[in-house]
Amino acid sequence: MFGLFKKKSEKEKLQEQYKKLLKEAHSLSTSNRKRSDQKAFEAEEVMKQIEKLA
């Protein structure tokens, strides 16, 4: 209940974005390989940002 209005940290936002990009990359892998690779690359860039914060 008390965490209801808690703001997310920058790291938590980046982790959610990373998960979203990986999910998109996986779903695109069967239909559009080039876009799937682009999403995977974007996810890796987000992971690098997460590692810098840690």
pLDDT band at 1; cut points 50, 70, 90: low
Is residue 26 within 8 A of residue 34, CB to CB? The reply is: no
**Residue 29: per-residue pLDDT:** 94
Rounded distance, CA 44 to CA 46, Å? 5
Give the residue with greater pLDDT, 38 vs 5.
38
Q: Looking at the domain assignment, is residue 36 inside a domain?
A: yes
Is residue 28 within 8 A of residue 36, CB to CB? The reply is: yes
For residue 21, what are the domain limits? 7-53
Q: Looking at the domain assignment, is residue 2 inside a domain?
A: no
Q: Looking at the domain assignment, is residue 47 inside a domain?
A: yes
Q: Looking at the domain assignment, is residue 11 inside a domain?
A: yes
**Residue 3: per-residue pLDDT:** 66
Q: Looking at the domain assignment, is residue 19 inside a domain?
A: yes
Q: Looking at the domain assignment, is residue 1 inside a domain?
A: no
Residue 38 reports pLDDT greater than 80:
yes
Specify the range with the lowest mean pLDDT, choosing from 2-11, 14-23, 45-54. Answer: 2-11
Q: Which tens digits make up the pLDDT trace of 7-25? A: 889 999 999 999 999 999 9
- Find, among 28, 50, 48, 49, the residue nearest to 39 by Cα: 28
Is residue 53 within 8 A of residue 10, CB to CB? The reply is: yes
Q: Looking at the domain assignment, is residue 41 inside a domain?
A: yes
Task: Give me the number of domains the chain comprises.
Answer: 1
Is residue 12 within 8 A of residue 3, CB to CB? The reply is: no
Q: Looking at the domain assignment, is residue 48 inside a domain?
A: yes
